[in-house]
A and B are shown apart, each in its own frame.
Chain A
Amino acid sequence: MKPAPYGIMAAFRTEESYLAALRAVELAGFRRVETFTPYDVEAEEEVLRRRATPMGWIMLAAALVGGGGAFLMQWYAARAYGIDVGGRPVDSWPAFVPVTFELTVLTAALTGVAALMLLCGLPRLDHPVFSDRRFRRASQDRFFICIRADGPGFDGEGARAALVRAAPESIEEVRA
């Protein structure tokens, strides 16, 4: 018996035809649909009804931890090694603002990139779609839609038919 494929993938030449096809595939009821585009097509997220990315919350949490930690560190340092300047308060917080700000930004930015890697499952050395000859154009000038074979209610003929109706440039099976 033939091993189950990774999915059925169609290539489109323009953003409009790709979006139209994506809407059709979505209406046809396929739930595990992957898209590959040469740039960020924002309209796609509405069609596929993606859940909001947690990126903002992750970075906010990191910023609070980084900023809070930086401030506490300075406050602690000022007390642990107090310098009395004419009786002025030792924990002179306004002077701690710049370092607090810098470390807030630094923590948020680095955490954001780490979160991107985790959420996307990158870095990754290989992926089934890379075995498709056409896929080299996904990073250049073609828009791809892949209906995953492991989705609920997947049938190869139905998926192929749904994609063919959208008049793609080409359509092929992707090996797992």
Chain B
Amino acid sequence: MRPTEPTSADSLELAAPGQTLESVSRDISAIPLQRPHPRFWWLGFAVSFLGMMVLFASLAWILIKGVGVWGINIPVAWGFAIINFVWWIGIGHAGTFISAILLLLHQEWRTSINRFTEAMTLFAVACAGIYPLMHLGRPQFFFWLLPYPDTMGLWPQFRSPLVWDVFAVSTYATVSLVFWYVGLLPDLATMRDRAEGLGRRRIYGLMSLGWRGDGAHWHHYRKLYILLAGLAAPLVVSVHSIVGMDFAIAILPGWHSAIFPPYFVAGAIFSGFSMVLTLIIPLRAVYGLQGMVTARHLDLMAKVMMAMGWIVAYGYFGEFFTAWRSGVIFDRYVALNRVVGPYAPYFWALMACNIAAPQFLWSKRLRQNPISLWVVAFCVNVGMWIERFVIVITSLHRDFMPSAWGMYHATFWDYSTFLGTIGLFASLLFLFIRFLPMISMTEMRALVTAKEGKS
């Protein structure tokens, strides 16, 4: 047994007994290949698609009228756009964390959830990217943020975290996509070989790039995959650190804090895991995947979520402690304003969702009960959104001079854009489940063989 392997006192398994190479390939590929597709898929997709249309309508209206249709103004110029951006990017962190970091740590339990969480990452990043782009106000000039041969000899300001953000998020999106696709190649070959009908075989065949499982190819592939994981691991940390620095480098009380980068990274993984649980618990139930995403997986994810929750709680404590310890009245006021100010209900909801709710998971019974675990994970999702609300809004709305204070009220278009990105996210997920294997068949095959060999 490797030292990194958790000593599993409990007899919970990572794959149900009786799984074979054949059954793994058959069961997982059956989900995208079955005809007709189950009714709940159509129902779910229809609702999500409607949400996506709401997004398109909202974006069209913003492009016609300008970002003024959102509730943003001075002093609160960031509003929902940045809250949602950070929320979505945070959700996107679980995918790479599970795929890359747990791969490097030889945590075998990642195998049956990594594909799905990587897809979730991609879609969450796609949703996140919309916000800063639209928030620019003149999205047609987005390329001003990139280094391009400008006739006036102008360059982006490379000392600005906002420019770092452009590089971090676009790199993250690209590398996540590449990592996901490379992992998908052998599975696309399986899909090609299992699909019925020439058309579908051709499409999967083209997507698999002609992969044939050649030993010489695996030889290069293995090295590439592990190196991509090695690159993605620090990338995850860098992306949300840079998002944290968007805030921390400003001089605003409540933002200007050295704890932000690590605290944001922990928050991102916290929210990412909670989103994975929120999605995978219903999915494994409706598609009958309990043999592959087992109770042990849920238990381990719940534990990671709890651990991250405590790091986030430490971040909250750190913010208050430094506000008090610094002796700066502006910092102290922001802290006080969060707890008892006009947005205090948000703060207390945040405490309830992010600190109180995960404590139920100390109980093994609640942790292994999918329903209670789902409720807690959902609370954390809400809590992480509120956390970004508290950070963005309460810091901006009352900064230094009372004469410059103001209140922030979200408008209909704020909510519709948010709802719309949820629709986009869900639509993409439904399409992913519909057309691609949501569990890595290749890795499951290796896992199943290794298990047989041991027993």
Q: List chain A positions with a Cβ less than 8 A from chain B.
A: 15, 34-42, 44-45, 48, 50, 53, 55-56, 59, 73-74, 77-78, 80-81, 83, 92, 95-96, 98-99, 101-103, 105-106, 108-110, 112-113, 115-117, 119-120, 122-127, 129-130, 135-141
Task: Say whether B216 contacts A50, CB under 8 Å.
Answer: yes
Knowing A15-B449, A38-B442, the reply to whether A80 touches B155 (Cβ < 8 A) is yes
When distances are taken between beta carbons in the complex, the residues of chain B under 8 Å from A99 are: 158, 163-164, 167
Q: Which residue of B has the minimal Cβ distance to A38?
A: B445
Task: Say whether A98 contacts B215, CB under 8 Å.
Answer: no
When distances are taken between beta carbons in the complex, the residues of chain B under 8 Å from A112 are: 224, 227-228
A131 to chain B, nearest CB (A): 12
A84 to chain B, nearest CB (A): 13
8 Å CB contact of A141 from B21, B163, B217: B21
Query: Which 7 pairs, one residue from A and one from B, show the smallest C-beta to C-beta distance?
Result: A35-B215, A77-B155, A141-B21, A123-B209, A124-B210, A95-B159, A136-B193
When distances are taken between beta carbons in the complex, the residues of chain A under 8 Å from B245 are: 98
Interface string of B431-455 (1 = CB under 8 A from A): 0000000000011011001000100
Q: Which residue of B has the minimal Cβ distance to A145?
A: B215
B122 to chain A, nearest CB (A): 14
When distances are taken between beta carbons in the complex, the residues of chain A under 8 Å from B279 are: none
Task: Say whether B158 contacts A45, CB under 8 Å.
Answer: no
When distances are taken between beta carbons in the complex, the residues of chain B under 8 Å from A127 are: 210, 212
CA distance in complex: A126, B211 (Å): 10
Within 8 Å of chain A (Cβ to Cβ): is B231? Answer: yes
When distances are taken between beta carbons in the complex, the residues of chain B under 8 Å from A137 are: 193
User: Binding site of A, secondary structure by majority: helix, strand, loop or mixed?
Assistant: helix
Knowing A34-B215, A36-B212, A77-B158, the reply to whether A141 touches B20 (Cβ < 8 A) is yes
Within 8 Å of chain A (Cβ to Cβ): is B294? Answer: no
When distances are taken between beta carbons in the complex, the residues of chain B under 8 Å from A102 are: 164, 167-168, 171, 235, 238
Q: Which residue of B has the minimal Cβ distance to A101?
A: B238
Task: Say whether B21 contacts A38, CB under 8 Å.
Answer: yes
A115 to chain B, nearest CB (A): 7
8 Å CB contact of A40 from B159, B210, B446: B446
CA distance in complex: A76, B89 (Å): 31
8 Å CB contact of B194 from A96, A113, A123, A140: A140
When distances are taken between beta carbons in the complex, the residues of chain B under 8 Å from A81 are: 153-155
CA distance in complex: A95, B220 (Å): 36
CA distance in complex: A33, B38 (Å): 45
CA distance in complex: A117, B234 (Å): 25
When distances are taken between beta carbons in the complex, the residues of chain A under 8 Å from B171 are: 102-103, 105-106
B309 to chain A, nearest CB (A): 28
B395 to chain A, nearest CB (A): 23
A-B contact pairs, 24 of them (CB 8 A): A15-B453, A34-B216, A35-B214, A36-B214, A37-B215, A37-B218, A38-B21, A39-B213, A40-B442, A45-B215, A55-B223, A77-B155, A80-B155, A101-B234, A102-B171, A105-B171, A105-B175, A116-B182, A120-B221, A123-B210, A136-B193, A139-B25, A140-B190, A141-B20
Having A103-B167, A130-B212, one finds 13 other A-B pairs with CB under 8 Å, namely A15-B453, A39-B446, A48-B215, A50-B215, A55-B220, A59-B224, A101-B238, A105-B171, A109-B178, A116-B224, A139-B186, A139-B193, A141-B22
Q: Which residue of B has the minimal Cβ distance to A106?
A: B171
User: Binding site of B, secondary structure by majority: helix, strand, loop or mixed?
Assistant: helix
When distances are taken between beta carbons in the complex, the residues of chain A under 8 Å from B158 are: 74, 77-78, 95-96, 99
Within 8 Å of chain A (Cβ to Cβ): is B39? Answer: no
B8 to chain A, nearest CB (A): 23
CA distance in complex: A167, B20 (Å): 21
B298 to chain A, nearest CB (A): 25
> In residues 255-277 of chain B, which contact A (Cβ within 8 Å)?
none
A48 to chain B, nearest CB (A): 7
CA distance in complex: A103, B181 (Å): 20
Within 8 Å of chain A (Cβ to Cβ): is B179? Answer: yes
When distances are taken between beta carbons in the complex, the residues of chain B under 8 Å from A50 are: 215-216, 219
Task: Say whether A110 contacts B178, CB under 8 Å.
Answer: yes
B88 to chain A, nearest CB (A): 19
Q: Which residue of A has the minimal Cβ distance to B450?
A: A15
> In residues 213-259 of chain B, which contact A (Cβ within 8 Å)?
213-224, 227-228, 231-232, 234-235, 238, 242, 245
8 Å CB contact of B209 from A103, A117, A130, A140: A117
8 Å CB contact of A39 from B154, B193, B219, B442: B442
Task: Say whether B228 contacts A98, CB under 8 Å.
Answer: no
Task: Say whether A116 contacts B220, CB under 8 Å.
Answer: yes
Task: Say whether A98 contacts B227, CB under 8 Å.
Answer: no
When distances are taken between beta carbons in the complex, the residues of chain B under 8 Å from A115 are: 220, 224
Task: Say whether B224 contacts A39, CB under 8 Å.
Answer: no
CA distance in complex: A34, B215 (Å): 7
Task: Say whether A77 contacts B147, CB under 8 Å.
Answer: yes
Q: Which residue of B has the minimal Cβ distance to A95?
A: B159
Knowing A40-B446, A77-B155, A125-B210, the reply to whether A139 touches B227 (Cβ < 8 A) is no
